[in-house]
Amino acid sequence: MCYTIPALVEDVNKGIATISYFGERKQAFCEFVHLNPGDYVYAQGGYVVEKILPAQAQKTLKAWKDVFFELRKIDAVSAALDSSDVSSDRLLQKILERARNGITLSKEEALYILGLKDEHNQLLVRRTANYLRQQYHNNSCCVHGILEISNICARNCAYCGISSSSCVKRYRMSCDEIIAAAGEAINKFGFKSLVLQSGEECGYSIDELANIVASLKNKFPVLIFISFGEIGVKGLRQMYDAGSRGLLLRFETSNPVLYEKLHPGCKLNFRLDHLKAAYEMGYLIVTGGLIGLLGASNEDLVNDIILTSSLHAEMFSFGPFLPHPDTLLANFPAPSERDVLGVLSLARLMCAEKAKILITTAYETLSSSARENGLMSGGNSIMVNVTPLKYRSLYNIYPHRAHENQTVAQQVRQALSMLKSFGRGPTDLGS
């Protein structure tokens, strides 16, 4: 989501531009920018966010051209399957073959995959997920920025360290601080898309939040995702009219009984209605669930993946539950890294073509090799936290969050060098 390379506009028709990246054609909405064929643009998540001067675009493209194809080659080689990628488990072999041939896996097949215990077979599933990721999405990896504007929250989620019952010191960034932090992320570090996140009823009214979104949209060429919780259909409409085009809202678990246990006074259906309304309004949807929640079965996890897909998610966001010492779930264990990788790779197998799959910060907190392993198991999206350091540790949803003390510059440097070493381009070319 954040970085991208310039695209050439080939055609504009009824608000949709056909744009090309070194000859590869994509479609993008151009409601924010007036365009003509021959223009150069930056696009994100299927939206043109900025028109750029031809000389500037051509200079960037010249610098990128060889690198672009070289990275693709490295990725294609490392994602290819070879003769050792077989299993003596004939059912698994058959399931993986079906996934490779683009056949939708049944729930029983998905459960079989999640139940695998043998290490070689688990690795084979992950390698197949990586193969499918490369086949359908090539080497693009979006790197999106997240700005946590407030940790004030009215909800009392049983696992969350910033829930209303937590004693964490509360903060709410001022409008000027939000604009300054977003401006730095966009102008200095090149982010083209940002997620604004907060707790629910975060200390700003919906009108104030909409004004913040509108100011950012007026000042910067950026695609804005909101993640303010359940703001109601009217709130969603207001944010859309203010210029946001993406919604990050996890349903957390598809099991309604478990959902109600973990979210006192709340209903899963209400949350799902938000996601459905947002999709109907035209929002790009980022959603998913927690992995390893107390009481969730493998069947629940498979249902989570199916639900995410049925909600038309353009990005799957699945991360591990991590125990926070000040919550009711303090003494329950986090899932293992293998459990997380099992879900990420199964999501890729079940929805190969559709989705970007995020390597979440929670997963990076669980394992220092999360990015590497997640990217090699079907993942193709990562996050950079652009919240000012003075607030970062207060957004304490679970302890010792990955990148908690790193500057944006350090995170960007680290992310780009890792992606390069894997042959991944920090580019969102859309679909």
CA distances from 342 to 86, 290, 299, 337 (A): 18, 13, 13, 8
* Candidates 71-79, 203-211, 247-255, 406-414; binding stretch for ligand SAM (CB under 6 A): 247-255
At position 208, the amino acid (one-letter code) is: E
Number of residues that bind ligand SAM (CB under 6 A): 19
Q: How far is the CB of 41 from ligand SAM (least distance, A)?
A: 31
CA distances from 28 to 81, 197, 266 (A): 33, 25, 37
Q: How far is the CB of 148 from ligand SAM (least distance, A)?
A: 8
173 binds ligand SAM (CB under 6 A): no
Other CB atoms within a 10 A radius of the CB of residue 90 amount to 8
Q: How far is the CB of 362 from ligand SAM (least distance, A)?
A: 4
Q: How far is the CB of 190 from ligand SAM (least distance, A)?
A: 25
252 binds ligand SAM (CB under 6 A): yes
159 binds ligand SAM (CB under 6 A): yes
263 binds ligand SAM (CB under 6 A): no
Instruction: Count, in order, helices (H) and strands (E) of the chain.
Output: 15, 15
Q: How far is the CB of 125 from ligand SAM (least distance, A)?
A: 24
Print burial letters for 91-106: b (CB count within 10 Å at least 16), e (below 16).
ebeebbeebeeeeebe
Token reading at 192 = 């083209």
Instruction: Return the DSSP state at 146.
Output: E
Cα(352)–Cα(392) distance, rounded to whole angstroms? 34
Q: How far is the CB of 290 from ligand SAM (least distance, A)?
A: 5
Q: How far is the CB of 389 from ligand SAM (least distance, A)?
A: 19
* Candidates 15-23, 90-98, 167-175, 192-200; binding stretch for ligand SAM (CB under 6 A): 192-200
* Candidates 6-14, 62-70, 182-190, 248-256; binding stretch for ligand SAM (CB under 6 A): 248-256
Residues 195-214 that bind ligand SAM (CB under 6 A): 197, 199-200
160 binds ligand SAM (CB under 6 A): yes
Instruction: Return the DSSP state at 357.
Output: E
Three-class secondary structure of residue 324 per DSSP: coil
Of 5, 341, 362, 402, which one interacts with ligand SAM (CB under 6 A)?
362
Nearest residue (CB) to ligand SAM, 55 versus 167:
167
Token reading at 150 = 């407030």
* CA 278 from centre of chain: 17
Cα(373)–Cα(366) distance, rounded to whole angstroms? 12
Residues 317-346 that bind ligand SAM (CB under 6 A): 319, 321-322, 324
Q: Quick one: CA dihedral 370, 373, 375, 378, positive or negative?
A: negative
Cα(217)–Cα(194) distance, rounded to whole angstroms? 11
168 binds ligand SAM (CB under 6 A): no
290 binds ligand SAM (CB under 6 A): yes
Q: Which long-range contacts (CB under 8 A, 24 or more apart) does 10-14 make?
A: 10/37, 11/37, 12/36, 12/37
* Candidates 8-16, 61-69, 154-162, 257-265; binding stretch for ligand SAM (CB under 6 A): 154-162
Contact between residue 320 and residue 292 where contact means Cβ atoms under 8 Å apart: yes
Task: Give the angle 423-429-431 at the CA atoms, nearest 5°.
Answer: 115
Residues 77-106 that bind ligand SAM (CB under 6 A): none
398 binds ligand SAM (CB under 6 A): yes
The DSSP code sequence of 55-75 is: HHHHHHHHHHHHHHHHHHHHH
The DSSP code sequence of 194-227 is: EEEEE-SS-SS-HHHHHHHHHHHHHHS--EEEEE
Q: How far is the CB of 162 from ligand SAM (least distance, A)?
A: 6
Of 44, 193, 227, 377, which one interacts with ligand SAM (CB under 6 A)?
227
51 binds ligand SAM (CB under 6 A): no
Token reading at 119 = 């290490």
Of 249, 275, 343, 359, which one interacts with ligand SAM (CB under 6 A)?
249
Q: How far is the CB of 377 from ligand SAM (least distance, A)?
A: 19
Which residues here bind ligand SAM, judged by CB under 6 A?
159-160, 162, 197, 199-200, 227, 229, 249-250, 252, 290, 319, 321-322, 324, 362, 397-398
